[in-house]
Amino acid sequence: MNGSMINAMVSMNGLQQKLDLLADNIANANTVGYKRKEASFEDLLATKTQQPSGFTQPGRLTPLGFNQGWGSKLGMIQPDLAQGPLKQTDEQYDVALTGDALLEVITDAAGTRAYTRNGALQLTLDDTGTSSFLTTKEGYAISDVDGNPIEIPSEIQSLRINPDGSLIGETAAGAVALGQMRLVQAMKPSLLSQVADNLYTVADGINVTDVLRTVTAAADSDISIRQGYLEQSNVNLANEMTELINVQRAYQLSSRALSSSDTMLGLANSLRG
């Protein structure tokens, strides 16, 4: 009975984490550039038990040993980087990525890097007030191919962003090249950690080059940047709600198993007297 209680308890813990994950997906169904999270489960190690020889009976064909399972646990959580639908906004600072790529952003003065699919961008003035940087709505600077923030001089009247991520500024004197956005591709999405503000980072102790590689939209035909569009969340509410019901049913079943084990244990204790 203790084994069945442990089995149910461990399974309920993993299912609770899956419920939290589904709730996060549903809550971000309308978040620009959000990528749904998906989880995988794995069995815990089983205990192989050998029965005493007294269990041997004439005609028994099965061996005496049996395996005792201990439930399942949540094995891995990773983002589903599938393409989300595009919404046209006609805003010159809005960009949507098509294909398997992420924008690199600089999150602090120390040059810490993070990655996102959220292309809702804006101009943010620098400390001197004479120039601006292309940033996310949260103020994180977009990185160029050299790893530097993309500066937009004050004389720029309009900005054109080409499909390869290069930026062309229009001034009274003519067009000016302003750099090119740096795009990366996740070779191992499971090693990306989702943090605040719809960003992904690579955890400390992991070599970034083992997880991400730099890509160029011009060389990879399936990757491009579309100005005046925003990529919507790739969460499908119908699928998430169906999965939510399945997980709730599994959680209820494990809960009943736990209650039944507790009842049986109480009956056994009452019989000892």
pLDDT at 263: 82
Q: What is the pLDDT of residue 219?
A: 56
| pLDDT tens sequence across 180-192 | 999 999 999 989 9
- pLDDT for residue 85: 95
Q: Residue 267 has what pLDDT?
A: 80
Residues of the chain with pLDDT under 50: 1
- Domain map (residue ranges) of the chain: 2-48+67-80+236-268, 86-231
pTM over 0.85: no
- pLDDT in the model for residue 27: 94
Determine the pLDDT at residue 46.
Answer: 64
Instruction: Kindly give the pairing relationship between strand 174-180 and strand 151-153.
Output: unpaired
* Per-residue confidence (pLDDT) for residue 90, from 0 to 100: 93
* pLDDT of amino acid 68: 65
pLDDT at 272: 64
